Structure 1
Amino acid sequence: MQTEKVTERIVTWLKDYAEQAGVQGYIVGISGGVDSAVVSTLCAMTGMKTMLLEMPIHQNAEHVSRAWEHIDFLKGKFNNIEAATVDLTPAFGDLYKSFNADATEFPNEQLALANTRARLRMLTLYYYGQIHGLLVCGTGNKVEDFGIGFYTKYGDGGVDVSPIADLYKTEVYELARSLDLVESIQNAIPTDGLWNTERTDEQQIGASYPELEKIQKEWGTKTEEDYSGRDLEVFKIFQKMNKAAQHKIQPIPVCDIPEEWRG
């Protein structure tokens, strides 16, 4: 990948979009992972105001440490960075109580609570974005957003712009290397950070990003019969998740009303 050209294109795109929208810049949620690190760096490179929010909810200490290592890296390199921690653990606890959560009654409750964390962060980003005149910048990549739908609808999927959504995860890591981000970010194992116990993306999905990317690049041109062994296993994982994620990937359905009924 021609990383310099890709970087320049995204930075220019971000700057042009913000100027046309009449806003001051962007706000990005910082997780300690490579996607948010790359996106926040690209936003900072526009020269426009870039606000970074770290929003822990019972967060793994290693994730917090990585997030702030990256934030400090950017603050030392750019003068347009503002950063803050907004501890959402108490708010999430209050929601948990209000929901009267009981995992023994509803099998999907733990997943619903994990998604609630992401949606609480989305609300926070939009609050701070609005009061500071900033757009919420998404951090989803091509596999997550358009392949297997590995994100929370109206959570980390609730954004104004998606600058790296046409890049595969391996390409995002390439950009991280070319941008010379801190080693802890470049070596971070992908995880969504939405669970009390550490669960990597690969553990949740059942396949690695390179494996998924291979299938996505061939999606629509090959069928199940074209695969065998591990590739067949990953194809079935991708196929199942892609089908289940169509409500995320496709536009919201609208029930059309015939014009002749309006009179």
Structure 2
Amino acid sequence: MSLPMTRLFWLFARWPLVALHALGWLGGWAVWLASPTYRRRWAEHTRLAGLRGRERWASVGAAGQQVAELPRLWFGPPVPVGWEGAAHIEAALAQRRGVLFLTPHLGCFEITPRAYAERFGRHGAPITVLYRPSRHAALDALLRPARHGAGLAAAPTTLAGVRQLMQALRRGEAVGLLPDQVPPEGLGVWAPFFGRPAYTMTLAARLAQQPGVQVLLAWGERLPWGRGYVVHVQPWAQVMHEPLAADAVQAAAQINRAMEALIGRCPRQYLWGYARYKAPRPLAPGAA
């Protein structure tokens, strides 16, 4: 990352949320208008999900807001965060077993682990989140410190990273990941997502099936006019009403349905332009 871009990044970190969200809204529409490929993908994905009207069009600007708010979340002053369902986390932590958070590309998915770390991680219940390192070394070096902090650690998408997640669960700590992220070839199965086969990671189910692990579904809602965020938390059983299957394909389909249920709560804030149905990339050397 060039020095001017780095300085610009730090400048945006000091902006108020309302200004960043306004800038992001414009950016989201600019990308939508400038990229026919993105526009076609967005149209197809929203059609598959049955999204229409105002909710559908609002998702264009919301995608840009998700990008524009990142400098503030990573490097800026704290933002207001409310909770809905924090009692579920408290009950899970009281049992001193591992807790697995599953979060789709919905709303502000960067705020959920940070809010958890601020409220619970600083007091002896840290969280480790899975992330894909940037292909650009300079950008990765800039963001690496932002992904670590008091009560918050990050595990890369490598074999060592998966071991890090397993160890955290065995210690009775929390782990978080995005199960609707397309994994490399060989690390997933094809399962329905809004009625169309999507290559779906098996890691989420493997972690959920570890002895004693409790699964919570979470997402961060972006409030209008820069008022902050609300983190919503629900137990798996409250959303799905069925245990997770042992079969990998069945479990992946269940997790996809759980993500659909969360997305249905606020479809305007889902990243419909994400290439969810793309073919998996070849497995890189050292990847998990």
TM bucket (normalised to shorter chain) is 0.3 to 0.5
Q: TM-score, normalised by structure 2?
A: 0.32
Q: TM-score, normalised by structure 1?
A: 0.34
Larger Rg, first or second structure (1 or 2): 1
Q: Which has the higher contact order (CA 8 A, sep 6+)?
A: 2
Q: Which has the larger share of helix?
A: 1
